[in-house]
Structure 1
Amino acid sequence: MTESGRGHDPERNASRARRLRDWWRPEGMWRRGIVLAVLAVLLGLLMILHAQVPNTVGNLGSLLETFLPWLGLIGVPVLLVAAVLRRSATAIVALLLPAVVWFGLFGGQLTDKKGTGGNLTVVTHNVSDKNLDPAGTARDIVKSGADVVALEELTGDALPKYKEGLAKAYPYRTVQGTVGLWSKHPLTDAAPVDIKMGWTRALRATVQAPSGKQVAFYVAHLPSVRVKLNAGFTANQRDNSATALGEAIAHERVKQVILLGDLNGTMNDRSLAPVTAQMRSAQGAAGDGFGFSFPAAFPMARIDQIMMKGIDPVSSWSLPRTGSDHLPLAASVKI
């Protein structure tokens, strides 16, 4: 039989027509993809009830909350593609639940909330103890034009280069352990803050703002967290330090407070509540997008924070990458 003859085979064409009809038959579209629909509903419920996921086993709740935005950013598109390929109307409709929940939780972060009128710019940057170009990082910080700069993970070898590179732009400074604060404005009352680590990774100092008001600055680098197969999310030491830091800030007598640092946790992480419950995130109130800061090569979480109380954040943004594995963050505030 010729090719043209095959193309006009009535039986073959009828079979194709039946398959096509069955493929798009409405009742078939609603019956297919039940498993995908169930997964979509579970995804939505997981985002709604994330606070109910316990931390008793491997700190699973905190681990989930650290990457909570990615549940929707990855989960919804993947399930949508699967639903389309499966030709499942049920799964597509079920995906409305996680999509609506995600936009309810994070849609506000997609809008540009930056304003104008700030009179003090601050920067925080974990410069990394493996930074091969501390002098270059110091130059980048100076270029930011910030009034007050907090640096974390300072090492003995790199510290002299930061001091030298920042000295001209920032005549006032204090370094306590592995954290430091540089300022264009007078800085007094500098002292370490005990965050229960055994060595100094937090400080407090008073800065006289351009308006003449006193602002209490805290710089902190909370303990690192790890994800281990045999132990889950190992964050207990960080959680204890967060509690100690929160207590110090709660007892602060100066009404206007700014916290800068690497907290090794996101604003969604319930374990940072001793700090986050009493302070506003500059990124959340005056940022544009998620502002992920780590890792610098492909940021997936905002574990570096600029927070404040008694002060209005005006705008918040990320600075270009330096020699660190963290991105520097900046914010403008109105004192």
Structure 2
Amino acid sequence: MTETEYDGPEDDRSGNDRSGSRFGAALDRLRRDRGIWRRGIVLALCAVALTLLMVFHSDIPNRIGNLGSLTETFLPWLGLFVPLLLVLALVRRSATALIALLLPAVVWLNLFGGLVADKSAAGGDLTVATHNVNADNPDPAGTARQLAASGADVLALEELKGDVVPAYEEGLAEEYPYHSVQGTVGLWSKLPLRAAQPVDIRMGWTRAMRANVVTPKGEVAVYVAHLPSVRVKLNAGFTANQRDISANALGEAISADRHERVVLLGDLNGTMNDRALNAVTSQLRSTQGAAGDGFGFSWPASFPMARIDQIMVKGVEPMSSWALPETQSDHLPIAARVQL
């Protein structure tokens, strides 16, 4: 057989594999490339800036268009810049940029790595769900049927228009014999409700309520809340003043509650990272953070980018948390299973 007929590994004439020598030659070229440390300085600075943004997000002022809260709402998405900078660093063949990228990668994993893993567990004896049904929902009856099939023991609805409340009452009546509607929020339950009443969140009309759910293991105080929407105004940027006032009022109500077991269901128009919700988040645990699988984004339903709908608890143990299938609303319904 001649050399031209040989189809085996690419060998030199002595029979040694050339692939190892090519790899060694590539390493040698990198060692001799003095620019590998000088290139990509701008990319390295971008990596450092990204790191500082994630570490010190709570120090970004809200005085200018609530910039701090806006950053915190979409904080997990800053992680997308890490693979982007990685590709650019590889294209530039910059060791400096690659090493600098370790900083934002480690910080992001420290902040959100725990959310990526599945923390759900079997068990639990109470399933709760919440859904902003959208005041302009074109199919309230269909949405009610979907929610009735969710299996939740307790169901909270927000953004209820007065003229469509009967559609939800009719669609949920068979599965949920107990319910109370206060203003634009409502609570439906398979278990008896007691002492249902509105909660003043300083809006001038009712968008929050509280009721005791009577379970076989005792009563649970359940709050339903729909905090005001965050607005983007041309002359003021991202504004959330009324939302912040209402969040503080809700936090005060929960703080004054004497029940040891509390569940908060609702559309808070803010994420767990948003400092404006500290009055609430400092007292309660997120079921998604404690027992969810992934980030559990709930809005917008067509392409969820943030979890502004929340299930939060105190005095009960979260076992699992998940998003329910899309309805005709612009929010996804979410659910959680807790152990009393």
Q: Same fold (TM over 0.5)?
A: yes
Q: 2:248 aligns with which of 238, 243, 246?
A: 243
Asked if 2 retains the 8 angstrom alpha-carbon contact of 1:22 and 1:28, the reply is: no
Residue in 2 that maps onto 1:222: 227
- Is 1:121–2:127 an aligned residue pair? yes
- Is 1:44–2:73 an aligned residue pair? no
Query: Identity, % of aligned pairs?
Result: 69
2 CA distance for matches of 1:224 and 1:291?
Answer: 20
2 CA distance for matches of 1:272 and 1:135?
Answer: 33
Give the deviation of 1:229 after TM superposition: 4.2
Q: 2:236 aligns with which of 231, 244, 248?
A: 231
Q: Deviations over 1:238-268 (max 9, x none)?
A: 0000000000000001111000000000000
TM-score, length of structure 2 as denominator length: 0.90
Give the deviation of 1:56 after TM superposition: 1.7
Asked if 2 retains the 8 angstrom alpha-carbon contact of 1:120 and 1:210, the reply is: no
Residue in 1 that maps onto 2:136: 130
Residue in 1 that maps onto 2:258: 253
- Is 1:297–2:335 an aligned residue pair? no
Give the deviation of 1:82 after TM superposition: 1.5
Q: Deviations over 1:207-253 (max 9, x none)?
A: 10132x11111000000002334312210100000000000000001
Residue in 1 that maps onto 2:215: 209
2 CA distance for matches of 1:25 and 1:174?
Answer: 75
- Is 1:151–2:157 an aligned residue pair? yes
2 CA distance for matches of 1:230 and 1:70?
Answer: 26
Q: 1:196 aligns with which of 189, 202, 205?
A: 202
Q: 1:27 aligns with which of 4, 27, 34?
A: 34
1 CA distance for matches of 2:103 and 2:31?
Answer: 24
SS at the partner of 2:276? helix
1 CA distance for matches of 2:220 and 2:338?
Answer: 12
- Is 1:106–2:117 an aligned residue pair? no
SS at the partner of 2:306? coil
Q: Deviations over 1:242-300 (max 9, x none)?
A: 00000000000111100000000000001100000000000000000000000001000
1 CA distance for matches of 2:77 and 2:233?
Answer: 20
1 CA distance for matches of 2:180 and 2:152?
Answer: 16
2 CA distance for matches of 1:239 and 1:230?
Answer: 19
SS at the partner of 1:106? helix
1 CA distance for matches of 2:181 and 2:34?
Answer: 69
Q: 2:100 aligns with which of 86, 94, 103?
A: 94
Q: How does 1:264-279 map to 2 (within 5 A)?
A: 264-279=269-284
Residue in 1 that maps onto 2:172: 166
Asked if 2 retains the 8 angstrom alpha-carbon contact of 1:266 and 1:302, the reply is: yes
2 CA distance for matches of 1:270 and 1:210?
Answer: 37
1 CA distance for matches of 2:204 and 2:32?
Answer: 68
RMSD: 1.3
- Is 1:75–2:68 an aligned residue pair? no
SS at the partner of 2:163? coil
Residue in 2 that maps onto 1:12: none
2 CA distance for matches of 1:23 and 1:281?
Answer: 49
Unmatched runs of 5 consecutive residues or more in structure 1: 1-20
Residue in 1 that maps onto 2:324: 319
2 CA distance for matches of 1:264 and 1:142?
Answer: 24
Unmatched runs of 5 consecutive residues or more in structure 2: 1-27
SS at the partner of 1:130? coil
SS at the partner of 1:158? helix
Give the deviation of 1:329 after TM superposition: 0.3
Moved over 6 A (4+): 21-24
The AA in structure 2 aligned to 1:175 is: V
